[in-house]
Amino acid sequence: MTNLRNEANGQPCMVRGPTCNYNPETTVLAHCRMSGISGIGIKSPDLLGAWACSNCHDLIDQRTSVEGFDRRDVQLLHLQGVVRTQSELIRRRQVTW
């Protein structure tokens, strides 16, 4: 399978949050953090990540916040980004089932 962390470099942000900088030069793979699939020192599988610009990644990891957005709003943005990322990887045939 394609190295999904490396693949994120130069890609458009798929999270598209209110803080998005739309700069593909800052895009990284933002992993989902959820009980049962990740924990202290354990990242979730790369397939459960979204291409996120540096600003959206900061929002996901709670290094920044947006007034009126709670944790569930951010989780939904991230999940939508994961789905968009997976869809693009499938379209490019970089991930197969």
Report pTM.
Answer: 0.90
Arithmetic mean of pLDDT, 2-26:
95
Task: Indicate whether 35 pLDDT > 80.
Answer: no
Percentages of the chain per state (helix, strand, coil), in multiples of 5: 40, 10, 50
pLDDT band at 2 (very low <50, low <70, confident <90, very high): confident
Determine the pLDDT at residue 36: 72
Domain 4-91 sits in CATH at 3.30.50.20
DSSP class of residue 46? G
Contacts of 17 (CB under 8 A, 6+ apart): 55, 56, 59, 66, 74, 77
Residue ranges per domain, the chain?
4-91
**Catalytic center residues:** 31
